[in-house]
């Protein structure tokens, strides 16, 4: 099952690395200095490097289920996403943070299902409970709980995906050292939604919390 990956690495080594030795040598000597951080979904269909045609060293990427950003909670817990954000902002000094959501997100779908069951008083079977996923998705619950689940998984699915992006942008602003940089115009926050069905990219306009199409 993993043999295609090994073959893929051989192809990378023979056809990419061998032709870009100077480029990789430079990356090693100067270290990584990306100016853009992307917080993306773990979904196997959404690869930021492929979507945006970038080379190694150009993007600092943190991927998680449903591309969620937790609120600022400095405690003794394990905060992988927050640690990635802190490293990108304080050490790499990125200029942009993009929260990249996408259509037909499985994590958001699970969140919608849980909210629908709760709203209509339906009991989830114990076998459907997830030890970590359910609590993780709670990060964005407040952004979707009041949606019209009579239309889910129809139009409500995409509304929930976009609402969750807005929620993550707001959570980014809860980090005081990000909020200060935003106020000083030293870092910009972006909310993007990738429509896989139509291959289009939508951008969040912060002023009215509406998404407008960037491409095409």
The domain segmentation of the chain, as residue ranges, is 1-30, 32-215
Average pLDDT of span 128-139: 91
Residue with tokens 């893929």: 8
Q: Which of 13-17, 55-59, 125-129, 159-163 is predicted with the least confidence, judged by mean pLDDT?
A: 125-129
Fold type of domain 32-215: Beta-carbonic Anhydrase; Chain A (3.40.1050)
The mean predicted confidence, pLDDT, of the chain is: 94
pLDDT for res 126? 52
Q: Which residues contact 172 (CB under 8 A, 6 or more apart)?
A: 69, 85, 97, 99, 178, 189
Q: What is the pLDDT of residues 176-206, one digit of tens each?
A: 999 999 999 999 999 999 999 999 999 999 8
Q: Is 209 helix (H, G, I), strand (E, B) or coil?
A: coil
What does pTM read for this prediction? 0.94
Tokens (6 digits) for 8 = 């893929």
């Amino acid at each position: 099952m993993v043999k295609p990956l090994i073959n893929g690495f051989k192809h990378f080594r023979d056809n990419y690395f061998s032709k870009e030795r100077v480029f990789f040598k430079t990356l090693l000597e100067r270290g990584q200095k990306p100016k853009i951080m992307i917080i993306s979904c773990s979904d196997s269909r959404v690869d930021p490097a492929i979507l945006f045609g970038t080379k190694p060293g150009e993007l600092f990427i943190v991927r998680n289920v449903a591309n969620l950003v937790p609120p600022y909670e400095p405690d003794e817990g394990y905060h992988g996403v927050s640690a990635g954000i802190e490293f990108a902002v304080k050490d790499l000094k990125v200029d942009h943070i993009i929260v990249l959501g996408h259509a037909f997100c499985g994590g958001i779908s699970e969140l919608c299902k849980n909210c629908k069951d709760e709203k209509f008083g339906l009991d989830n079977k114990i076998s459907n409970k997830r030890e970590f996923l359910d609590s993780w998705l709670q990060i964005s619950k407040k952004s979707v709980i009041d949606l019209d689940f009579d239309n889910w998984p129809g139009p409500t699915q995409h509304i929930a995906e976009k609402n969750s992006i807005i929620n993550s942008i707001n959570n980014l602003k809860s980090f005081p050292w990000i909020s200060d940089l935003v106020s000083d115009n030293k870092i910009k926050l972006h909310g993007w939604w990738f429509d896989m069905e139509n291959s289009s990219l939508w951008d969040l306009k912060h002023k009215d919390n509406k998404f407008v199409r960037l491409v095409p």
